[in-house]
Every structure is written in structure tokens, then in C-alpha cells.
Structure 1
Amino acid sequence: MTHAQANISALAPWLELNLRQFPLEYGDQLSSHLPMALHALHSLGADEARMAAFFNSYSRRFEGMVAPSAVAAPEDWLSLRGDWSAYSALRSYFELALAAEGRDALLRRVLPDLLPGISAVAFHGAIRLAHAVEGGHGPELVAALAYWASRWQQLPAPAVQSGVESLNLPAWSERLVAGASTWRSEAPLIFLRMMEASARPVYAELVWAAPAAAPTLLARVAELASLALDYYLHSANFTVLHMITGLRAVRVLAPWIPAEPNFQIQVQAILTQAFVAAYMAGRVQWRDTPEPKNGLNWAELADAATQAEDDHVIKLVHACREEMAVYGDPQYLQAAAMALR
């Protein structure tokens, strides 16, 4: 049994309380990390007192705000993709669909239409859904699907580039790091910078020069996850952090993504485009990696993460632990320790 499969019964009341009391965003279109961080805290071993303390601290961000009210479900959810005002209607739709179809059938049906918008709100639609799946909580799963659908955002197809040859992964990574350094956006939010990046010629060049499709979607996810880990160790960059957690989300959701080869190749292309746009949006400042810390272990790192106040740190340590369990790369220990400094 993995960490993510641990008993989640103690988590459900906190997720339900969040859904009853608070909206999906706060401030200037900032995604609420509360349900995701609660799941990560629980998985990392936080006790009831710590869960309560974190919930109460985070809830101050929603002062004066209330949870959205329920409305009637639409017949056609696809026509509402990308319509933030339709969140409540979409939530009603997915609630009925979950009851009628069950989790597995519902995810298999809707993920093909959600994945082209993987970049929505800086991957948070997919990230929240992955946490909901692991948390095993139906209402949170419904909320995550509705959030992703209502904030759905598709990057435009890259302009056609003639004479661009596909590179191998190391060469392409070097080209990405160098190419991203020639452009900078001052937009305040990650997804806005990703959209700006997708309009630049260097973005199209990098997408067209990307390595040929991997044998499977999970193989491509693993390749990109390894690159994102290396980028984070060289930068501790906030956007790269979201690339790590976003790729973990795709890995978690992979069992419900259609296995049809052509579709898997399409998803690889979608991920590659989002990866390029996110790295360009990150305004990454490359630096030497710090000296590796010796004697690191997950028990101590997880305990430190449960005491953290930064929701992003909590989620990253959780993601690093889960990714190391899958990929076996000990550098995830170093990334977690870096986040906790």
C-alpha cells in the first residue's frame, strides 16, 4: 500500500467543511489549495490538531467570501468548458453523473475532454482532481472536475515551423533552458504568462523540436518529471514546483486516460506544449545546485512538512515523496529538503 492509499476516513470531514464554507478561489483568481493541502497533510501523517490548525489558518484567506450556491445541472457540460460562471452548474452535472456512472466510468468519459485544457489555472484543475481521487472523497472529486471544467484553458496550437528537427531529450532540455532565457513576461499569474509564452516564436520552435513520442504516455510523463525535478534543484522556482505537482497529477490520473495509442500520443503533445509554456512562464533563474544533504529520510521530512504553514511546501514535499516511491530517484529527497529550508 502506498502512502496515498492510507486510510482517509479522518480526511473526509475536513474536505466536507471546506466545500460547505469556502469558494474555489480567493484574491485575484488564486486557486484555493486548502483541499489539496489537507490531503497532503493527512497523507504525510498530520494529526487532528494539526489539521484543525492549518484549516483555521488557511481559512482567513476567504474572509467575507462564501461557498457557491447549488444550481440546476445542464444537459451538456462540454458547452460550458472554460466558463467560470458555470462552476455551480457543472458541479451539479458531475454530482449527478458520479451517482449514475461511478467514479471510474465518469473519469474515463470526461478526461479526454479535460486534458486538452491541462494548463488551466496553472495545472490546478488536474492537481486538485488527482488529490481528490487519492482522497477517495466523492463531493471533492465532483468539485475538482467542475473547477477544471469551468477554468478550462487550451493553449493555442504552435505555429508551423519548417525544417525543425526533433531533438533527443537532453538536447531538447538544453534548448528549452536557453530559449526560455530570451523571453520574459510580467503578467501576474502563471497561466497568463503561459498564454503569452505560447504566442512567441521560441515556443513554437521548442514544441516542434521536442523529442518524438515516447512508447507510452507514462514514459513521457516520467521523462518530463525527471526534467522538472532537475530544473527545481537548479532554481527552487515557484512555477517549476507546479510542473512537478502537475506531472504527478497526470501520473495519478493515467489509469483513467484512454489507452488508445493515437490518443496517448495526442496527450503527450499536449503535455509537451504545457511543459514548454510553463517553463517559459517561470522566469527561471538558473543556479548551481546546493550541496546534497546527507542523512535525509522521509519520516523527518514528512514530519517537518506537516508543521509547515506554506501550502505549496506541503504539497511539494508530499509530491516528492510519492514520486520517489514510483521513480526511485533519490534527488526527490533533496528537492523536499530544499523546499523546507
Structure 2
Amino acid sequence: MADSTIDEAYERISRTGPERAGWLSNHAPMAAESLVRAGRADLVHRWLDGYADRMEERPRGIARIAVDQWRDPLGDPVRTGDWLRYFERELADEPWRDVLVRWWPRLLPGIAAGATHGVIRVGHAVRALLDAETPARVTELGQGLAYWAARWQPLAPAGAGPYGSDDPRAALDAVPRVPDQRYGIRHRLAQLADLPDWPASAAAVPRAEQTDPAVRLAAVVDAAVLRVGTHGHGDTIMLVHSATAPNAVLRTLPALPRRLWPASLAAGWAATAAVTAAYAPAVGRPAPVAGPGLDPDSVLSRAVATGDPHAIKFADTAVDTFRRGGDRAALATAAQVATDLADD
């Protein structure tokens, strides 16, 4: 049932665009995949029905993007329809893994695309494809890649030094805050280039004891999950992306050759640091405490009950963190996020 449900959901979503109201992301494919993964496949179509008024028609194209002329329209949201058609052609002609491997290093420098929703959507699609290759899942990967390409947005560059931190939590604490926090993410990320401490923070890819980039990246995700518990009140919706964006990269690594893993680690960390700089409050709050009976199933149920796609996706990521290390603080954080978003 789960397999057919996600394919049915993707087929419904494929007729819609990646955004609404000009720039707000379509969360339907990401939330649907998380629901199926959480064992809630029976809720997917009902959830999509409730979300239907937040989905718009798929945008039309302007002009065909030639294979050797992709650089100019990169990052141009007006060309979203053209990018959707471009990746339809790419994936019709080649295996999805080949397309992903070719485009991943092209897109990775623009990881801030769509407030990181481009890479998050791709990460969910890849996880579904690694379970089973179906036409609907290949189509969804193409739509995720197209959205990322259309909204491609690079961050201010990192410094050139070696990895600077053994502790991802300490590295997050050292990330500077952007001074003007009155407007949206594009305005905030534009300020990173003017922060003297940003290059060092962006280069401080936290190390784990092992040298495997996947292990390092998992440590980044885990630290970001827990930090949402103490700093998520600054802007819960935006700060959950400090964890879900690197987790999307982590979920994609098994489909990539290992030569692309170091750059993926660096980009995943940069996304976490950038969202932290843009939205984390100066002062944290006490970490939430995991009460008795709190387990992955109850946490996912709380998130699903909110109906909020950010709560659902964050719970999905927090459960990954819990299952890696058994830290119940991750579950408590996901429960807190669900409460915060339900109150909103």
C-alpha cells in the first residue's frame, strides 16, 4: 500500500507547480513521502485534499533550454516551466542516477534555492527512488531538480582553511547572526557576505571521530535537530530547515559516487550555518525534556495531527537522529516543534 500510495501522490502533485503565490514552496511531495515513510500512507490523500488550495497549476515554459546552454537560466524562477521540461527530457533519455550525478555538483553551490526547499525536495525523491524505481518517482525527482535549478541561489563563500571544529554543536554556537532580521530569507542571506566571521563559520565543517563524510554530515543533522529545541522559538518554520536541509543531502549520498561526498558535506553544513545565522535568536531557551512514553510513533503522530508540513518533515528528521544515537532529546524537540506549529 505504501508503495502505491506515494506513486499515486506523486502523480497528483506532478500536475502542480513547485511554488504558489510567487515564491512559497509546494510542500506536498515532501510531506507525502514523509507520511508514507512514517507508516501513515492511509492519511496521504486526505492530507493532500486539505492542502489542495495551496497548490497551483504547473507553470508554462518560455523557451527550450538547450543541453549546452543551461548556465544562463540557472537561478531564474521565470524559467521554472522550462526547467521542468528540461528535466523531463533528461530523465526520459538517461537513468535517473546518471542525471542526478551530473546535476548534483552543478546545483550544490546553490543549495539555498527556495529557502533550501530545492535540495529538500530532491532528498525526499531520492529516498523514495532508493526504495523502488517507478515512473512517478523519477518524475518527482525531475521536478525537484527543476525547482532547485530555477531558484538556484549561492551562499556567501566559505573560508579556505581546514575543517575547524570537532563539535558540531559548538560550531553552531559560533555562527554569527545577520544584523537585520526584519525581512525574508533572501534579504537575510544577502547579509552573510558582510559578516567578518561568516567565512570561518561556513568553513567549520564539524568533524566526527570518523573521517567518513556521511558520519560527519549525520553529526551536523543531529546537532541542528537539538539546537532547534533551544533556539527554534526564533522562527520555528524557518529554523527547522537547518536540520531538514542537511538531512536531505545525507539521504542523497547513497545514490552518489563517493567523490561527491566531501562537497556534499560542505554544502550541507553551509546550509545549516546560513539558516542559523539568518534566524536563530541571540538567546536560547531550556531544551525540552522527553516525558514518559515519548517514542518515534507518538512524535510522528503529534506532527501529523498538526497538519503542518514543516512539523511532519522535522519529525521525520528528528526520528532519524533518535534512531542513530538514541538521544530522546531529539524526540522532545520534535514534540515541541509540533506544539509550536499547532499553536501558530
For normalisation by structure 2, the TM-score amounts to 0.83
Call closer, same or farther: CA 1:131–1:267 in 2, change over 3 Å.
closer
Q: How far did residue 279 of structure 1 move? A: 0.8
Aligned pair partner of 2:287 in 289, 309, 316: 289
State the AA in 1 paired with 2:101: R
Q: How far did residue 251 of structure 1 move? A: 0.8
Q: How far did residue 292 of structure 1 move? A: 2.5
Using the alignment, how far apart are the partners of 1:305 and 1:317 within structure 2? 6
Using the alignment, how far apart are the partners of 2:84 and 2:229 within structure 1? 38
User: Which residue of structure 2 aligns with residue 169 of structure 1?
Assistant: 166
Q: How far did residue 156 of structure 1 move? A: 2.8
Cα offsets for 1:91-150 (capped at 9, x unmatched): 222112212211112111211111111121221111001111233312111100100111
Q: How many residues align?
A: 325
User: Which residue of structure 1 aligns with residue 27 of structure 2?
Assistant: 33
Q: Could you tell me whether the CA contact under 8 Å between 1:74 and 1:89 is conserved in 2?
A: no
RMSD value, Cα: 2.7
Using the alignment, how far apart are the partners of 1:53 and 1:142 within structure 2? 25
Map of 1:263-302 to 2, 5 A cutoff? 264-284=261-281, 285-302=283-300
Map of 1:58-69 to 2, 5 A cutoff? 58-62=51-55, 65-69=56-60
Q: How far did residue 241 of structure 1 move? A: 0.9
Cα offsets for 1:30-56 (capped at 9, x unmatched): 1111111111122223354x3333222
Using the alignment, how far apart are the partners of 1:201 and 1:309 within structure 2? 40
Q: Could you say what secondary structure the match of 1:9 adopts?
A: helix
Structure 2 residues not aligned, in runs of 5+: 130-136, 340-344
Q: How far did residue 308 of structure 1 move? A: 2.3
Matched, 1:227 2:220: no
Q: How far did residue 209 of structure 1 move? A: 5.4
User: Which residue of structure 1 aligns with residue 50 of structure 2?
Assistant: 57
Call closer, same or farther: CA 1:156–1:304 in 2, change over 3 Å.
closer
Cα offsets for 1:147-186 (capped at 9, x unmatched): 01111111132477xxx8964333x7446425535x4333
Q: Could you tell me whether the CA contact under 8 Å between 1:238 and 1:282 is conserved in 2?
A: no
Using the alignment, how far apart are the partners of 2:22 and 2:45 within structure 1? 26
User: Which residue of structure 2 aligns with residue 3 of structure 1?
Assistant: none
User: Which residue of structure 2 aligns with residue 106 of structure 1?
Assistant: 99
Q: Could you tell me whether the CA contact under 8 Å between 2:10 and 2:140 is conserved in 1?
A: yes
Q: Could you say what secondary structure the match of 2:14 adopts?
A: helix
Q: How far did residue 253 of structure 1 move? A: 0.6
Considering Cα pairs closer than 8 Å and 6+ residues apart, tell me whether 1 or 2 has the greater RCO: 1
Call closer, same or farther: CA 1:337–1:184 in 2, change over 3 Å.
same
State the AA in 2 paired with 1:241: V
User: Which residue of structure 2 aligns with residue 12 of structure 1?
Assistant: 7
Call closer, same or farther: CA 1:145–1:38 in 2, change over 3 Å.
same
Cα offsets for 1:277-335 (capped at 9, x unmatched): 22110132411113321221222233333332211111111222234334543332222
Using the alignment, how far apart are the partners of 1:251 and 1:166 within structure 2? 18
Using the alignment, how far apart are the partners of 2:162 and 2:82 within structure 1? 45
Using the alignment, how far apart are the partners of 2:329 and 2:28 within structure 1? 27
For normalisation by structure 1, the TM-score amounts to 0.84
Call closer, same or farther: CA 1:286–1:300 in 2, change over 3 Å.
same
Call closer, same or farther: CA 1:199–1:8 in 2, change over 3 Å.
farther
Q: Percent identity?
A: 27
Q: How far did residue 14 of structure 1 move? A: 2.1
Using the alignment, how far apart are the partners of 1:185 and 1:28 within structure 2? 23
Structure 1 residues not aligned, in runs of 5+: 1-5
Q: Could you tell me whether the CA contact under 8 Å between 1:44 and 1:306 is conserved in 2?
A: no
Q: Could you tell me whether the CA contact under 8 Å between 1:120 and 1:191 is conserved in 2?
A: no
Q: Could you tell me whether the CA contact under 8 Å between 2:217 and 2:269 is conserved in 1?
A: no
Map of 1:182-197 to 2, 5 A cutoff? 183-197=178-192
Using the alignment, how far apart are the partners of 1:306 and 1:174 within structure 2? 32
Using the alignment, how far apart are the partners of 2:243 and 2:14 within structure 1? 26
Q: How far did residue 188 of structure 1 move? A: 3.0
State the AA in 2 paired with 1:282: Y
Q: Could you tell me whether the CA contact under 8 Å between 2:303 and 2:335 is conserved in 1?
A: no
Call closer, same or farther: CA 1:109–1:12 in 2, change over 3 Å.
same
Matched, 1:80 2:73: yes
Aligned pair partner of 1:306 in 301, 304, 316: 304
